[in-house]
Chains A and B, each alone.
Chain A
């Protein structure tokens, strides 16, 4: 019943890439300094426009350290391209546009699926930590992506401990249903950022081995899935680029689709 082959996804990505590439090229990229205003402008409503959508690919907006707003890495292109793929692959009422919400915004609980990346530079405020804690304990699902090596892991672990001090982080085995929700995932690939790919490597820093780890609630339900030493977001963002390997894009889309379907049914 479930497609496990990479070929159909690859073909789809090629066709999507061709249309998306042209569309995105036509729209001028937002300068990074305007991310805050972008959040406000593209904030969707559950009611409207264009009818309510069931699913919003929601990006968690958090405070970061010395660097610029790291939450917005690949934003919004990765979000839009990924949603294009999702809407084509599964029968879901998903908003096509991006949706960024601050962790301390009470409205975040309207969006039970949350994506956060570059968490190696995360520096949560107290209200953000509390907002994320309530979000997760109430039933929200968090996907962490695109952070590398031991230093960034240590930062993330420190920050997530502030959110969930009593929950353990464990390796999620390939036998877990999340790897089989729609697509069968038999191996966790290390998806490189496009720059690393150009540099001829898949890793970054000392992050040589990809890991999928998780945090489970007291009832054994997965509430945080952590993609460490891998960059699914870059694969979504650049799947229209011929030089970016289709293998990684397909894998990243399969993982993302599995995350969504699993999150919406468990």
Chain B
């Protein structure tokens, strides 16, 4: 609007004035006429000084000013003002036109017209308006870009099917290809929905250095009126079968404030969770916690979606998918108990049904006499607690019950600390008169690992400590997977408040910095806390009779709270504990023909990194064919091996890695990859005006929309580089000057009439 008005008044658009230099090109006649106008102005001034009549001094001053201004306008025109411009020589310069070929161009967000229609109408044929205007001035070179950039002969070669947009790569490619010719600039026609991993800054540097401006044409709306988007899904990559999951989804929207929508989770087509959510204010993210059970083993593709709503601009961004490997294997936990305790019976009973947990009990019944339950064979733990790291590190979790620190040798205490720190295992210490400070752990390596501060004076050394307490969940505990004892967060928090009291003999009131307290009790007693330590995690549960949550008379016989608590707690203890061989992919989702990086970490049974192992990755494609890759030590990190492969067609890929040393198998692991054309183009798919403006501003170009793109050709003519000539444009015939002159004359006449002057 502003530009149109400006152009109407001043004959040219603001850009022309920006680019041009002002000059006067008066001829001798013009100079003479201008001199006459100046003389006329002087005479006018003199005349108004002498005239008296019925006029006041103010009237004479106003009329004199108007008359002189009119004569000045005439004099200005007679001096022939011009704009001196540098203009590209027609057909001597090249112009690269880069057109977005990605799927987001199919979005019909402006007047229900797909973004690609602009390309077809304005650039599709040689007769198209914009193309024709450009072609009159430049030699055009067309490129299409999405995840790759290609030169195209005709615009109708574009398919708008690309699943990613890499604008930076497209600029680099076009600049490289046109580097040997006089280049006036690059035109990028896109919605700007760049979803490449790398930044754009590096791609702009060579353009800035060589003075090639980038002109961007932004297609689509910068803000949707009504749209809902599944922004993010935070889910674990691996879980044990039967794991109760709490997955956080972040939903954003515009135009649906206060409306209730259905969020659901599907496990390969089967709905496993639904929840009604009331949407907050526009643009405000809403975090939704979805709870479901990983019931089926293997690589599972979960879909998290919001049901499409009436009037939504884009519905394909309502869904996100995530690949999760559900492992049906038993995680071994060593539970070392120093005396017969009811906690043992009920803990084992609580996880008895869990086929993915194997709690091996080593219980001291008398001095140097041990009782073993759930061992794999007679050779497991024959002499009590392991004395070799490899034997202890065979377990994923370690529970220390009522066992005093003095039972362990100094090396065993260090070994327990290493179990967490180095091996990445989960350590849980239970309350009793032989654990924590009361068990003499203060000052030991185990105390360093624990998430709580052990009192300097054990309670047993004085009168002893004994408290019967009711446990409640902290804010963190209400939502934490380990302390979910009911189906919903609210029900879980309420259940904690109604559980019968338990007893504490370890007065622990302080968690370490960095630790998280999940359960607490009056008088600031810490009941359950955890912290990450090194590669693993440690937990403290200083109560001695959680079995009261099962056996108390107030707890119905059929109540499963105690079992649920222990199952979830122990599952969380071993969650994410690494094995000797661990494989990771650069992403669990790839585009067809994308290069995928496989990284494996290999350690020996003592969890010392191995750099000389034979590591082989076998990739099984969806059609059953395999690719075998020898993995090489990266030399960047001990124990890290890497290789790459190129994904082929769509489907699930299994990457199986085996590591061996001296012909002996160390371990194996598998990761999974989903290869498919992604929907990333439909997320954050509004036109990214800020990015397009930045590209133009940083390189000296300009940003246009579909409405303003008609000026593109002329603008490049004066802004672009390449072979140029100097061009002058007259300003004397600007409508503004005529209007100004007419306005002054009419103003004088009107003033006289108003004042009743002759």
A92 partner, pick from B339, B346, B551, beta carbons under 8 A: B339
Interface pair A47/B503, CB less than 8 Å apart: yes
Does B371 interact with chain A (Cβ within 8 Å)? yes
**Min CB distance, B637 to chain A, in Å?**
43
Does B341 interact with chain A (Cβ within 8 Å)? yes
Interface pair A109/B371, CB less than 8 Å apart: no
**What 1/0 mask marks residues of chain B from 355 to 371 whose CB sits below 8 Å from any chain A CB?**
00000010111110111
Does A149 interact with chain B (Cβ within 8 Å)? no
Does A266 interact with chain B (Cβ within 8 Å)? yes
Interface pair B551/A265, CB less than 8 Å apart: no
Interface pair A182/B339, CB less than 8 Å apart: no
Q: Which chain A residues numbered 240 to 266 have a C-beta less than 8 Å away from chain B?
A: 260-261, 263-266
**Min CB distance, A63 to chain B, in Å?**
20
Does B352 interact with chain A (Cβ within 8 Å)? yes
Residues of A within 8 Å of B505, CB to CB, are 52
**What 1/0 mask marks residues of chain A from 123 to 144 whose CB sits below 8 Å from any chain B CB?**
0000000000010011110000
Does B593 interact with chain A (Cβ within 8 Å)? no
**Min CB distance, A26 to chain B, in Å?**
30
Q: Which chain A residues numbered 30 to 85 have a C-beta less than 8 Å away from chain B?
A: 46-48, 51-52, 54-55
**Min CB distance, B101 to chain A, in Å?**
61
Does A187 interact with chain B (Cβ within 8 Å)? no
Residues of A within 8 Å of B503, CB to CB, are 46-47, 52
Interface pair A182/B547, CB less than 8 Å apart: no
B551 partner, pick from A93, A112, A181, beta carbons under 8 A: A112
**Min CB distance, B731 to chain A, in Å?**
97
Interface pair B340/A55, CB less than 8 Å apart: yes
**Min CB distance, A164 to chain B, in Å?**
12
Interface pair A90/B551, CB less than 8 Å apart: no
Bound-state CA distance A170–B548 (Å) is 30
Given contacts A91-B366, A263-B345, contact A110 B352 (CB under 8 A): no
Does A89 interact with chain B (Cβ within 8 Å)? yes
Does A1 interact with chain B (Cβ within 8 Å)? yes
Does A219 interact with chain B (Cβ within 8 Å)? yes
Interface pair A138/B340, CB less than 8 Å apart: no
Interface pair B551/A182, CB less than 8 Å apart: no
Bound-state CA distance A107–B346 (Å) is 18
Bound-state CA distance A83–B706 (Å) is 92
Given contacts A47-B466, A47-B468, A266-B373, contact A112 B349 (CB under 8 A): no
Question: Which B residue sits closest to A261, measured CB to CB?
Answer: B340
Interface pair A140/B551, CB less than 8 Å apart: yes
Does A2 interact with chain B (Cβ within 8 Å)? yes
Bound-state CA distance A91–B365 (Å) is 5
The stretch among B482-490, B552-560, B626-634, B738-746 that forms the contact with chain A is B552-560
**Min CB distance, A98 to chain B, in Å?**
19
Residues of A within 8 Å of B369, CB to CB, are 1-2, 90, 182
Interface pair B340/A90, CB less than 8 Å apart: yes
Residues of A within 8 Å of B557, CB to CB, are 134, 137-138
**What 1/0 mask marks residues of chain B from 536 to 557 whose CB sits below 8 Å from any chain A CB?**
0000000000011011110101
Q: Which chain A residues numbered 78 to 120 have a C-beta less than 8 Å away from chain B?
A: 89-93, 106-107, 109-110, 112
Residues of B within 8 Å of A158, CB to CB, are none
A91 partner, pick from B349, B364, B373, beta carbons under 8 A: B364
Given contacts A54-B341, A91-B338, A91-B339, contact A182 B346 (CB under 8 A): no
Q: Which of A55, A112, A264 has the most CB of B within 10 A?
A: A264
The A interface is mostly helix, strand or loop, or mixed, namely: loop
Bound-state CA distance A193–B699 (Å) is 105
B339 partner, pick from A54, A138, A263, beta carbons under 8 A: A54
Given contacts A46-B503, A51-B466, A134-B557, contact A110 B552 (CB under 8 A): yes
Interface pair A91/B367, CB less than 8 Å apart: yes
The interface size bin for chain A is: 35 or more
A-B contact count (CB 8 A): 94
A266 partner, pick from B348, B433, B464, B547, beta carbons under 8 A: B348
Q: Which of A91, A93, A263, A265 has the most CB of B within 10 A?
A: A265
Interface pair B361/A1, CB less than 8 Å apart: no
Question: Which A residue sits closest to B352, measured CB to CB?
Answer: A219
Bound-state CA distance A219–B552 (Å) is 21
Bound-state CA distance A107–B353 (Å) is 28
A139 partner, pick from B345, B363, B366, B553, beta carbons under 8 A: B345
Question: Which B residue sits closest to A133, measured CB to CB?
Answer: B557
Does B737 interact with chain A (Cβ within 8 Å)? no
**Min CB distance, A85 to chain B, in Å?**
13
**Min CB distance, A53 to chain B, in Å?**
11
Bound-state CA distance A265–B402 (Å) is 14
Bound-state CA distance A264–B345 (Å) is 5
Q: Which of B340, B348, B503, B553 has the most CB of A within 10 A?
A: B340
Does B344 interact with chain A (Cβ within 8 Å)? yes
Interface pair B551/A109, CB less than 8 Å apart: yes
Residues of B within 8 Å of A260, CB to CB, are 340
Interface pair A89/B366, CB less than 8 Å apart: yes
Does A197 interact with chain B (Cβ within 8 Å)? no
Does B42 interact with chain A (Cβ within 8 Å)? no
Question: Which B residue sits closest to A93, measured CB to CB?
Answer: B339
Bound-state CA distance A176–B4 (Å) is 96
Q: Which chain A residues numbered 198 to 238 have a C-beta less than 8 Å away from chain B?
A: 219, 221
**What 1/0 mask marks residues of chain B from 84 to 123 whose CB sits below 8 Å from any chain A CB?**
0000000000000000000000000000000000000000
**Min CB distance, B449 to chain A, in Å?**
26
Residues of B within 8 Å of A46, CB to CB, are 503
Given contacts A47-B466, A261-B371, A266-B373, contact A221 B340 (CB under 8 A): no
Q: Which of B338, B339, B346, B353 has the most CB of A within 10 A?
A: B339
Does B342 interact with chain A (Cβ within 8 Å)? yes
**Min CB distance, A176 to chain B, in Å?**
13
Residues of A within 8 Å of B433, CB to CB, are 93
Interface pair A138/B555, CB less than 8 Å apart: yes
Interface pair B370/A1, CB less than 8 Å apart: yes
**Min CB distance, B753 to chain A, in Å?**
108
B552 partner, pick from A109, A177, A221, A261, beta carbons under 8 A: A109
Bound-state CA distance A261–B363 (Å) is 10
Interface pair B346/A139, CB less than 8 Å apart: yes
Interface pair A265/B373, CB less than 8 Å apart: yes
Q: Which chain B residues numbered 402 to 455 have a C-beta less than 8 Å away from chain A?
A: 433
Interface pair A54/B342, CB less than 8 Å apart: yes
Given contacts A91-B366, A264-B345, contact A107 B553 (CB under 8 A): yes
Bound-state CA distance A91–B432 (Å) is 14
Residues of A within 8 Å of B341, CB to CB, are 54, 264
Question: Which B residue sits closest to A219, measured CB to CB?
Answer: B352
Interface pair A106/B553, CB less than 8 Å apart: yes
Residues of B within 8 Å of A2, CB to CB, are 369
A51 partner, pick from B382, B464, B550, B555, beta carbons under 8 A: B464
22 contacts between A and B (CB under 8 A): A2-B369, A46-B503, A52-B505, A54-B342, A89-B366, A90-B365, A90-B366, A90-B369, A91-B338, A91-B340, A92-B339, A93-B339, A106-B553, A110-B552, A139-B345, A139-B349, A177-B373, A219-B352, A261-B340, A265-B373, A266-B348, A266-B349
* Additional A-B contact list (19), CB under 8 Å, known A52-B503, A138-B550, A138-B557: A46-B503, A47-B468, A48-B466, A54-B339, A91-B367, A92-B365, A109-B552, A110-B548, A137-B557, A138-B551, A139-B345, A221-B349, A260-B340, A261-B340, A264-B344, A265-B344, A265-B348, A265-B361, A266-B345
Residue numbers of A with Cβ under 8 A of B are 1-2, 46-48, 51-52, 54-55, 89-93, 106-107, 109-110, 112, 134, 137-140, 177, 181-182, 219, 221, 260-261, 263-266
> Closest 3 A-B residue pairs measured CB to CB?
A106-B553, A264-B340, A109-B551
